Amino acid sequence: MKKRTELEKENYMNEGDSSVDEASEVRNPAENFIQKYSKPIIIVSIVVIALVAFLLYMRYQANENEIKVATLMTRIVPYFQAGDFDKALNGDPDKTYLGEKVLGLKHIADEYQSTSQGKIASLYVATIYADKAEYDNAMSYFEKASKSDANIIQMGGMAGIASVHEQKGNLKEAAQNYQSAAELAEDDNTKSRYSFYAALCFEKAGDKDKAEEIFRTIIDENQLTEFTPLAKAGLIRIGTIIE
């Protein structure tokens, strides 16, 4: 099993978009990083969403079934955090708690998919599959997560669906799902992030009008986020005037 840092380094070396090389002089270093390394950035952001949601539900959900599933999650999530994705996915048959085997995230996602914790497990499972470049499996579990009642899990699911479409080259579908994720965001920076990814996908797909519209919205509505200068650079890159 490769460590997460090794996987990300390989992703960094293998990704890129030659079609925008000529614009590199007008793109700042932060945007270069986002453009080139979009897959690991998205994976990390989804992991953060899953962890936050997991901690929130551990604190506030009190019904018996949720508590049971939360207990199973507390046993397996540390494997994910340690980068042991195979055991995180499938469980650890060599270890038990109170006589019970450590079940994998996939088992939890499949068996308890109607629970909030099951949806969080789906988000973790999808992220593992995405990291392994098993995009069809990743899509299936991101879709399960997107059906959660909680906005934060829906958002993670939609962002994951978008990232899979992007990896497959379905840029307009990716852009539309990033927009859906942005609509679910509860803070300006997260909204700007997914809006910016949507604009980049529209730009790569050749829809400069839609890209311009989103770049301008980011600039007009979210002046204080880190994505405002990136949106301005986007406008310069596609040849429009910054008003």
CATH number of the domain encompassing residue 119: 1.25.40
- The DSSP line for the chain is ---HHHHHHHHHHH---GGGGGGGGGS-HHHHHHHHTHHHHHHHHHHHHHHHHHHHHHHH--SHHHHHHHHHHHHHHHHHHTT-HHHHHHEEEEEEETTEEEE-HHHHHHHTTTSHHHHHHHHHHHHHHHHTT-HHHHHHHHHHHTT-SSHHHHHHHHHHHHHHHHHHT-HHHHHHHHHHHHHH-SSHHHHHHHHHHHHHHHHHTT-HHHHHHHHHHHHHH-TTSTHHHHHHHHHHHTT----
In a domain, 10, yes or no: yes
On whether residue 231 sits in a domain, the answer given is no
Structural domain span for residue 13: 4-184
The answer to whether position 212 is within a domain reads no
Q: Is residue 141, in this structure, part of any structural domain at all?
A: yes
For the chain, the domain total comes to 1
Q: What is the pLDDT along the chain (243 residues), one digit of tens a residue?
A: 444 434 443 443 344 343 334 333 333 444 443 444 344 445 545 555 555 555 555 554 456 677 888 889 989 999 998 999 999 999 999 998 888 899 999 999 999 998 888 998 999 999 999 999 999 999 999 999 999 988 888 999 999 999 999 999 999 999 999 999 999 998 898 899 999 999 999 999 999 999 999 999 999 987 788 899 999 999 999 998 777
- The pTM for the full model equals 0.76
